Amino acid sequence: MSSKDKSIDTPEVKKKSIFTKALNAVKDFFYKINSSKAIVAVKNTLAYVPKKLTQNLKYDKKKAIWGIVFIIPLLIGFGYFFLIPFITTVVYSFSYVQSLGNNPVTGDFIGITTEGIGFDNYQYVLNQHTTFKETIVSSFGSTIIEVPLILIFSLIIAVVLNSKFKGRALVRAIFFMPVIFNSQAVDIAMSTGAPLASATENVTADLFASMFNFSDFLVMANIPLVFVNFLSNATGSIYNVISYSGVQILIFLSGIQAVPKHLYEAAKMEGATQYE
């Protein structure tokens, strides 16, 4: 018998054959399930019901119905995570809220009691609270500064991400990462390292503060104090701008990509610049 007629079963060939057999067995298993009468009946029902309900409707109405179906999860999330808490907060603002504490046996939270008191809470924060007005003015000022910066930054990044370059998908993911990291689950997961992070941040801040003070440098350069305060607040808001720009970048990017290519070609033929 020649060497060509002999089959040499090396360990790699054996592993490959075992893997192939296992993969084929899994494929056959799912194929049998997918071809079963119950699954086929469910598929036919799911395909028949929408077709039967929309067979007499025009295309625009069908499109509108499917649009409503796709935004139902968003509406549920909006109602459960925003609308209900918002209404509850408004009700509590007109009430005296008192905690009933925890159950001494099980340790579970018992609940709260509310008593309507009208506008007493609003009168207190507007007339008697010492820091409410300063806090609301500071928050309003930060909003005025950060919102335009977020919009401008998001638009610029969206235009850059719309161009073709290597690693574009990775860069898009990087700019969307802060949206994920700002979630409550990530905050809880990172809370265990908060003391160490706080200590490191304080040491770093003290080190850079002793080396260089941005505001003092601008004042010594005879720049008006109004612009100094604006630039200081703007540089201090860099983290917030980047963190809150992920969703806005996607919105701008979707709008830019929705513009037909022939409009860009027509504008280019008309002599429009890249900026225009």
Write out pLDDT tens, residues 45-66: 766 666 666 667 677 777 777 7
What pLDDT does residue 186 have?
A: 54
CB hemisphere CA count around 129 (13 angstroms): 13
Q: Is residue 170 domain-resident? A: yes
Banded pLDDT at 13 (limits 50, 70, 90):
low
| Shared domain check, 276 and 144 | yes
In the chain, pLDDT over 70 holds for what percent of residues?
A: 74
| Shared domain check, 152 and 250 | yes
Q: Is residue 65 domain-resident? A: no
Q: Is residue 3 domain-resident? A: no
What pLDDT does residue 206 have?
A: 53
What pLDDT does residue 3 have?
A: 47
CA 184 – CA 190 distance, rounded (Å): 10
**Interval 91-105 mean pLDDT:** 85
Tell me which residue range forms the domain holding 262.
130-276
| This prediction's pTM | 0.52
Q: Is residue 104 domain-resident? A: no
Cα Rg, the chain, nearest whole Å? 31
| Shared domain check, 155 and 276 | yes
Given a cut of 50, whether residue 269 has pLDDT beyond it is: yes
What pLDDT does residue 213 have?
A: 63
In the chain, pLDDT over 90 holds for what percent of residues?
A: 5
Given a cut of 60, whether residue 5 has pLDDT beyond it is: no
| Shared domain check, 40 and 134 | no
3 state SS for the chain:
CCCCCCCCCCHHHHHHHHHHHHHHHHHHHHHHHHCCHHHHHHHHHHHHHHHHHHCCCCHHHHHHHHHHHHHHHHHHHHHHHHHHHHHHHHHHHCEEEEECCECCCCCCECCEEEEECCCHHHHHHHHCCCCHHHHHHHHHHHHHHHHHHHHHHHHHHHHHHHCCCCCHHHHHHHHHHHHHHCCHHHHHHHHHHHHHHHHHHHHHHHHHHHHCCHHHHHHHCCCCHHHHHHHHHHHHCHHHHHHCCHHHHHHHHHHHHCCCHHHHHHHHHCCCCCCC
Q: Is residue 161 domain-resident? A: yes
Total domains in the chain come to 2
Q: Is residue 169 domain-resident? A: yes
| Shared domain check, 259 and 141 | yes
Sign of CA dihedral 241, 246, 247, 252: positive
Banded pLDDT at 36 (limits 50, 70, 90):
confident
Q: Is residue 98 domain-resident? A: no
CA 126 – CA 133 distance, rounded (Å): 7
Given a cut of 60, whether residue 27 has pLDDT beyond it is: yes
What pLDDT does residue 173 have?
A: 82
Banded pLDDT at 31 (limits 50, 70, 90):
confident
Given a cut of 50, whether residue 210 has pLDDT beyond it is: no
| Shared domain check, 256 and 155 | yes
| Shared domain check, 135 and 235 | yes
How far is C-alpha 241 from the geometric centre of its chain's CA atoms? 14
Q: Is residue 4 domain-resident? A: no
